[in-house]
Chain A
Amino acid sequence: MLSVVRTCVLFGLEGFIVNVETDVSRGMPVFNIVGLPDTAIKESKERVRSAIKNSGFTFPVSRITVNLAPANLKKEGSQLDLPIAVGILTAGDIIKYEYKDIYFMGELSLDGSINKVTGLLPMIIALRDKGINKFVIPRDNVKECCILNDVEIIAVERLNELVLYLNRKMECPKVENRVINQIPQMCEDDFSEIKGQENLKRALEVAAAGGHNVMMIGPPGSGKTMISRRIPTILPKLEMDEILEVTKIYSVAGILPESGIIYDRPFRSPHHTISSASLVGGGRIPRPGEVSLAHNGVLFLDEFPEFSKHVLEVLRQPIEDGFVNIARVHSSISYPSRFMLVAAMNPCPCGFLGDSKHQCTCTEREIKRYLSKISGPLLDRIDIHIQVNPVKYNDIKNNDKNIEDSETIRKRVEKSRNIQLKRYSENSFHTNSQLSSKYIEKYCKLDDTCEKLMKYAFDKLNFSTRAYHKVLKVARTIADLDNKTRIDEKHLAEAIQYRNLDRKYWMR
């Protein structure tokens, strides 16, 4: 007897419908799976056999052929266990009712229970976009899927429970759609804990408002890492579609937290020994890398020049395009990677170049080699360069200036992001940092006094030509923070302060 069960496989973040066709016929008792299955699917034979037996059903002693259609698409993932089992049970006449509109995903355990699978959310979203809205999923995956409110989800724990449900002998409790009310961030860090460093805080506020990439240069112990960890607390809260995007990626990577949904902006800080494949994604079947895991959040690279040069260069395309294409023999997949790059570094290998309290022990050549790890094109993509140096505690200890907390700063950031969203509603980009030179001319117009100031800054402060556009973009963000439609002289003056250090360090 023949049966057809529908399920889904993932290809990057895209889902494809797969029909599991099962034929049970007379002949020698063999069990074959055809249709380009990977190892995990081939092994499912054994799991399916044991799970059916241990759930109290008889495994048909006949010739079983399972075809995964379309046959030319390579399939991977353990979610095909459940549809294969359902197919065999249907072909063996144990499940008697029709279930054409239901899609099955789940991994079987030998005792007949249904285990959690990775990447379930992107599958369901992909199927939902194709107009399908009824799914059977493992109960362990409920948390990540219940944020979708327009689909019907049946969560099952055991195979026999599912059979009873399909035979209409039992009613499975429907999963309640959880309304997303943003859980307050559990993050204990706050900007108010940072005493001093007003300059750096302001720079990061501007960066967060415009989505600009930031680079901090300073001696060890000046607070670069400490302040970076607090950047997510001033970034605007994730929107619903952003939550979905992020959760999808984490679901594919299989690193969803206990709560099942990512509410907070991701903050990824890979160690500098990272390989290029784990940074942008890779593997035989490409998995999302750190740049994709930092999508809609912050990618923090501490000790920037310690990363291998090759690893830093692969960052160029993801920063520029907002997605990353990974091609392997097996497949070519694209993952989103729109993140804010925050880089921190020392000015020289020993860290004390120019410090009045410590002596730098590096030779000229060492410093040059250290800095040359960061190439011009990469520097080009970092809008805000800022020098950090610590201030003595005694100097700021007895002040009564109230220090702003993250929530206050976030409100300003959100306000300016809204202004940007409104302004760029007709364009494909959303933030000032994504402005290309064509749009800079359109949106960042300077009046005569500003033009004069800019020219002066160029001559006086030794600006490189590449600094020009960056200053304009940052000035636009500062004007947005100030709620002004025109870029003012004072906005430009501040933007120039975040001037580029490339002349100072890289073109000595």
Chain B
Amino acid sequence: MNRDEWLIVSDICNMNLEVSKSFIFKDFSHKQKEIYAKYCKIIKNKVECNKIYNKYKTNGVKWLTLEDNFYPEIIIENDYKITTLFYKGNIKLLKNINLGITGSRHATYYGKWACNKNIKELVNCSVTLISGIASGIEEMVHKLSYEANRPSIMILPYGFDMIKSKKLQMIINNIIDVGGLVITPFPLGGNVYKTNYLYANYLFACLANSLFVIEAGEKSGVNNTIMHAIDLGKNILALPGNVNSEMSVIPNKLIRDGAISILGIEDLYLYLFKENYNKKNREISFEDEDEENIFNLIKNGPKHIDVLCFTSKMAISKLKQIIFQLEIKEMIDEIEPNVYCAKN
């Protein structure tokens, strides 16, 4: 079958991705035969066919089938679960070195801080980031990428016509503007079911060379992505967290089970490029003794402003000025409200 025929198959099968698989071997069950009959009827009718092509053309949605060069080999190798992919943007990105980043919607300040810190360094390297659409970590990945004018890949769990959120639409537009890619296994005219996300997770696991898990709760949907990634033999990277933090349960378990733990950009760089990361050494200069004292206190680990106030025995107004100065010099960061930690 050629590209156009595959498009019609996908469009007819709509959300039943499994059915389209049977078209490869022309081996249909009783129910699937009805769909095949429908397909045979449409393929003979030129007008109907053009209608379907035009639908995709007017929406600006392009498609990728088993016949194409760019079609991910890994899907073909693994039982053809998805036969057609729909996308907008630059499909060539699929050949780049990439890194999938996923994380919880309910990320804590720690997760967001870590994500922010690592990605800000990572966007300067030649690596494409892949992530989903969820708010929290995944949204942050795309935002940081396009803000740095770097393309990223977004996996969409429904057809392009089902994007209802204005915020998501804005993010997608920005991704495409900087030459990124938005890709989905679902055709136009579908619906949004909970099961969609499982296919999207599968596609995510297929496309990513390795998966970096930032934060995930015990029952997070991230687990599904991780499961697929492990099945497909991908490497898992994880951000260690506090053992008492609910959002770090999964990453910590992954590390226990053999995932690569990522402590900072150096680890990521070493993993991705097999080279050491050249850290730019920043000059550290203090205006006066107090500033140095406060910085030394913060250096030992995140500190609440009250604790700083008590240990340094400094007036709170003075302390706040010093903290602001340090923040401006980019020597410290506010990771949680009123909790500061040193940047390394």
B:292-344 near A, CB below 8 Å: 304-307, 309-311, 313, 316-318, 320-321, 323-325, 328, 336-339
A356 with B109: in contact, given A198-B316, A493-B320 (CB under 8 Å)? yes
A387 with B310: in contact, given A359-B217, A359-B246, A359-B247 (CB under 8 Å)? no
Interface string of B233-261 (1 = CB under 8 A from A): 00000000010111100000000000000
Stretch at the interface among A74-82, A140-148, A160-168, A391-399: A391-399
Q: Is the CB of A389 within 8 A of B338?
A: yes
Q: Is the CB of B305 within 8 A of A199?
A: yes
Q: Is the CB of B321 within 8 A of A401?
A: no
Which chain B residue lies CB-closest to A389? Answer: B337
A399 with B108: in contact, given A199-B320, A199-B338, A490-B321 (CB under 8 Å)? no
Question: How distant is the Cα of A457 from the Cα of B135 in the complex, in angstroms?
Answer: 27
Q: Is the CB of B320 within 8 A of A494?
A: yes
> Number of B residues contacting the other chain (C-beta, 8 Å)?
33
Q: Is the CB of A478 within 8 A of B317?
A: yes
The answer to the question of B56 belonging to the interface, with a C-beta cut-off of 8 Å to chain A, is no
A497 with B324: in contact, given A356-B242, A391-B307, A396-B310 (CB under 8 Å)? yes
Q: Is the CB of B320 within 8 A of A202?
A: yes
Q: Is the CB of A202 within 8 A of B310?
A: no
The answer to the question of A128 belonging to the interface, with a C-beta cut-off of 8 Å to chain B, is no
Q: Is the CB of B337 within 8 A of A388?
A: yes
Q: How far is the CB of B147 from chain A (nearest CB, A)?
A: 12
Q: Is the CB of A196 within 8 A of B306?
A: yes
Q: Is the CB of A354 within 8 A of B105?
A: no
Q: For B337, give its contact among A201, A387, A456, A496 (CB under 8 Å).
A: A387
Which chain B residue lies CB-closest to A348? Answer: B106
Q: Is the CB of A396 within 8 A of B336?
A: no
Most chain A CB neighbours (cut-off 10 Å) among B109, B309, B313, B325:
B309
Question: How distant is the Cα of A453 from the Cα of B245 in the complex, in angstroms?
Answer: 37
The answer to the question of A422 belonging to the interface, with a C-beta cut-off of 8 Å to chain B, is no
The answer to the question of B39 belonging to the interface, with a C-beta cut-off of 8 Å to chain A, is no
Q: Which residues of B contact A284 (CB under 8 A)?
A: none
Question: How distant is the Cα of A199 from the Cα of B318 in the complex, in angstroms?
Answer: 11
Interface string of A404-423 (1 = CB under 8 A from B): 00000000000000000000
Q: Which residues of B contact A496 (CB under 8 A)?
A: 324
The answer to the question of B110 belonging to the interface, with a C-beta cut-off of 8 Å to chain A, is yes
Q: Is the CB of A395 within 8 A of B320?
A: no
Which chain B residue lies CB-closest to A453? Answer: B328
Interface string of A189-217 (1 = CB under 8 A from B): 00000001111011000000000000000
Q: How far is the CB of B323 from chain A (nearest CB, A)?
A: 7
Q: Which residues of B contact A395 (CB under 8 A)?
A: 304, 306-307, 310
Q: For B108, give its contact among A355, A396, A460 (CB under 8 Å).
A: A355
Interface string of A370-398 (1 = CB under 8 A from B): 00000000000000000111010001100
The answer to the question of A218 belonging to the interface, with a C-beta cut-off of 8 Å to chain B, is yes
B:207-231 near A, CB below 8 Å: 217
A:428-444 near B, CB below 8 Å: none
Size band of the interface chain A makes with B: 35 or more
Q: How far is the CB of A476 from chain B (nearest CB, A)?
A: 15
The answer to the question of A364 belonging to the interface, with a C-beta cut-off of 8 Å to chain B, is yes
Q: For B106, give its contact among A360, A389, A453, A482 (CB under 8 Å).
A: A360
Q: Which residues of B contact A174 (CB under 8 A)?
A: none
Q: Is the CB of B320 within 8 A of A497?
A: yes
Question: How distant is the Cα of A356 from the Cα of B328 in the complex, in angstroms?
Answer: 26
Q: Which residues of A contact B307 (CB under 8 A)?
A: 391, 395-396
Most chain B CB neighbours (cut-off 10 Å) among A197, A356, A360, A395:
A356
Q: How far is the CB of B304 from chain A (nearest CB, A)?
A: 5
Q: Which residues of A contact B317 (CB under 8 A)?
A: 202, 478, 481-482, 494
Q: Is the CB of B321 within 8 A of A494?
A: yes
Q: Which residues of A contact B339 (CB under 8 A)?
A: 389
The answer to the question of A357 belonging to the interface, with a C-beta cut-off of 8 Å to chain B, is yes
Which chain A residue lies CB-closest to B305? Answer: A199
Q: How far is the CB of A198 from chain B (nearest CB, A)?
A: 4
Q: How far is the CB of A91 from chain B (nearest CB, A)?
A: 71
Question: How distant is the Cα of A359 from the Cα of B108 in the complex, in angstroms?
Answer: 8
Q: How far is the CB of B258 from chain A (nearest CB, A)?
A: 26
Q: Which residues of B contact A360 (CB under 8 A)?
A: 106
Q: Which residues of B contact A453 (CB under 8 A)?
A: 328
Q: Is the CB of A493 within 8 A of B110?
A: no
Q: Which residues of B contact A396 (CB under 8 A)?
A: 306-307, 310
A364 with B324: in contact, given A389-B338, A401-B310 (CB under 8 Å)? no
Q: Is the CB of A354 within 8 A of B325?
A: no
Q: Is the CB of B328 within 8 A of A201?
A: no
A202 with B106: in contact, given A389-B337, A389-B338 (CB under 8 Å)? no
Question: How distant is the Cα of A388 from the Cα of B313 in the complex, in angstroms?
Answer: 21
Q: Which residues of A contact B245 (CB under 8 A)?
A: 356-357
Question: How distant is the Cα of A104 from the Cα of B320 in the complex, in angstroms?
Answer: 60
Interface string of A114-125 (1 = CB under 8 A from B): 000000000000
Q: Is the CB of B324 within 8 A of A198?
A: no
Q: Is the CB of B338 within 8 A of A201?
A: no
Which chain B residue lies CB-closest to A397? Answer: B310
Q: Is the CB of B320 within 8 A of A356?
A: no
Q: Is the CB of B306 within 8 A of A354?
A: no
Question: How distant is the Cα of A136 from the Cα of B183 in the complex, in angstroms?
Answer: 87
Interface string of A45-72 (1 = CB under 8 A from B): 0000000000000000000000000000
Question: How distant is the Cα of A460 from the Cα of B330 in the complex, in angstroms?
Answer: 10
Which chain A residue lies CB-closest to B324? Answer: A493
A:330-361 near B, CB below 8 Å: 354-361
Question: How distant is the Cα of A364 from the Cα of B138 in the complex, in angstroms?
Answer: 14
B:98-150 near A, CB below 8 Å: 105-106, 108-110, 135
Q: Is the CB of B306 within 8 A of A391?
A: yes
Q: Which residues of B contact A456 (CB under 8 A)?
A: 328
Q: How far is the CB of B160 from chain A (nearest CB, A)?
A: 21
Q: For A359, give its contact among B106, B109, B321, B323 (CB under 8 Å).
A: B106
Q: Is the CB of B328 within 8 A of A364?
A: no
Q: Which residues of A contact B321 (CB under 8 A)?
A: 490, 493-494
Question: How distant is the Cα of A494 from the Cα of B314 in the complex, in angstroms?
Answer: 14
Q: For B328, give its contact among A460, A490, A494 (CB under 8 Å).
A: A460
Q: Which residues of B contact A482 (CB under 8 A)?
A: 317
Q: For A197, give its contact among B108, B135, B306 (CB under 8 Å).
A: B306
Q: A198-B305, A356-B110, A399-B310 are in contact. List 18 more A-B contacts (CB 8 A).
A: A197-B306, A199-B306, A199-B309, A354-B108, A354-B336, A387-B337, A387-B338, A388-B337, A395-B304, A395-B310, A401-B310, A456-B328, A482-B317, A490-B321, A493-B320, A493-B324, A494-B317, A497-B320
Show 7 A/B contacts (Cβ-Cβ < 8 Å), sorted by A. A196-B306, A201-B316, A356-B336, A388-B338, A490-B321, A493-B321, A497-B324
